Amino acid sequence: MKGKLIIVSGPSGSGKSTVTKIVKDRLNIPLSISATTRKPREGEVEGIDYYFLSEDEFKRKISNDEFYEYANVHGNYYGTLKKTVEENLEKGLNVILEIDVQGALIAKDKKKDAVLVFFKTKDTKILEERLRGRKTDSEEVIKKRLENALKELEFENKYDYTVINEDIEDSCQKLIEIINE
């Protein structure tokens, strides 16, 4: 049997990355490492957090049709490599992609039985607090991410499930239930 494709999206600061990482560990789901042209943040490691590529390298992969999906998010390219998704699904392994709304809709279009999960906070004030609390991004980047968050929230109705992330453990349980359904 083929694995399930689960796609998690939601605004920056919704806590989706933290929850997705924990759930992947608990369920032994292999990491799916995206490529990006964004510069690494402090502490981020090549090949673990992302494959950090130059814009030329990224565009070469686009021309070689190496991406399952890709999108321009906050002014940088981000993309999932085809082999990451296809090889694992063929092997019967579940795949979780944590990607933006544009990429999620591309992936759903390719694979109609993909399950789309939208993460959000109870209100946007919490998002702003979390983004500022991270202290890794400049004011300009924070503003852009907040603007983008409001746009992303408009896509919630295209998703199969919404998780309002108030408590990490509760959200992990919800995501696990969705995956096992």
Interacting residues with ligand 5GP (CB under 6 A): 12, 34, 38, 69, 71, 73, 78-80, 98-100, 102-103
At its nearest, how many Å lie between ligand 5GP and the CB of residue 76? Answer: 7
For ligand 5GP, the closer CB: 1 or 44: 44
Rg of the chain (C-alpha set): 16
* Min separation Cβ 157 and ligand 5GP, Å: 18
Q: Is 91 annotated as a binding residue?
A: no
Does the annotation place 30 within a ligand binding site? no
Q: Which is nearer to ligand 5GP, 67 or 172 (CB)?
A: 67
Biggest CA-to-CA distance, the chain: 47
Nearer to ligand 5GP by Cβ, of 68 and 174: the residue is: 68
Q: Please check if 133 is assigned to a binding site.
A: no
Q: Does residue 82 have a known ligand-binding role?
A: no
Tokens (6 digits) for 159 = 């998703």
Q: Which residues sit in the known binding site?
A: 10-17
